[in-house]
Every structure is written in structure tokens, then in C-alpha cells.
Amino acid sequence: MKTDVIPSLANQKRYTTSSGNSVSSVNELHTEAKEMIRHKKGISTRHL
């Protein structure tokens, strides 16, 4: 999996990667994964 780097140029209004991901979409994915793991209990969360 390639890692996306979000440019940090001060003159840009929106920070997006070349594939269209933005900080908010990355935060949304992180929140969804965190919620999914929170509802699971036991050893199985290690294998997600």
C-alpha cells in the first residue's frame, strides 16, 4: 500500500493528496476503525 503525503503549502486552501484524500477523510476512517475495535472484545481484535 502506498502512503499518501498531504502537502503543507501555505497558499493552498484545501490539503489533499494526488488520490483525493484529505485530512478529514483520513480522520473519518480512523474514527470508523476505532469504533469497530471498541465494539469487539477478546483476542480477535489482534487479527483485524
DSSP of 14-48, one letter per residue? S-B-TTS-BHHHHHHHHHHHHHHHHH--SGGGGG-
- The predicted structure's pLDDT at residue 2: 59
**43 lies in some domain:** yes
Give the pTM: 0.47
Domain residue limits at 40: 20-48
The pLDDT tens digits for 7-47 are: 555 556 666 666 777 778 888 888 998 888 787 766 666 66
Stronger pLDDT, 39 or 5, i.e. the higher one? 39
**9 lies in some domain:** no
**45 lies in some domain:** yes
**48 lies in some domain:** yes
Total of domains in the chain: 1
